[in-house]
Amino acid sequence: MLKLRYHSEFKKSLKLMQKQGKNMSLLKDILTLLVEGRSLPPKNKDHALKNSRLYHEVRECHIEPDWLLVYRVNGDTLELIATGSHSNLFS
């Protein structure tokens, strides 16, 4: 089982998602799978980010169609980097 580490950007962006009324149980379900080292379902479109100077060895998955989770597994730690829409995260 992986330990969780929350980056400050994740904490900030999570508060914004909560204010927007996002369903936090969807995020919790994904985090449970990731912490247990299990694969995400295909609907979550989990993939490595490519050609990104900001994020090295980082993955992204879809919680909802335009709600993303950016994370990295580093040894025995699941690092939660950011969450938000495509436009918030990559513009």
Annotated catalytic residues are: 86
Residue with structure tokens 């994020």? 55
Cβ neighbours, 10 Å, residue 80: 22
Closest C-alpha among 59, 56, 70 to residue 27: 70
> How far apart, in whole angstroms, are the C-alpha atoms of residue 51 and residue 44?
21
DSSP state of 2: P
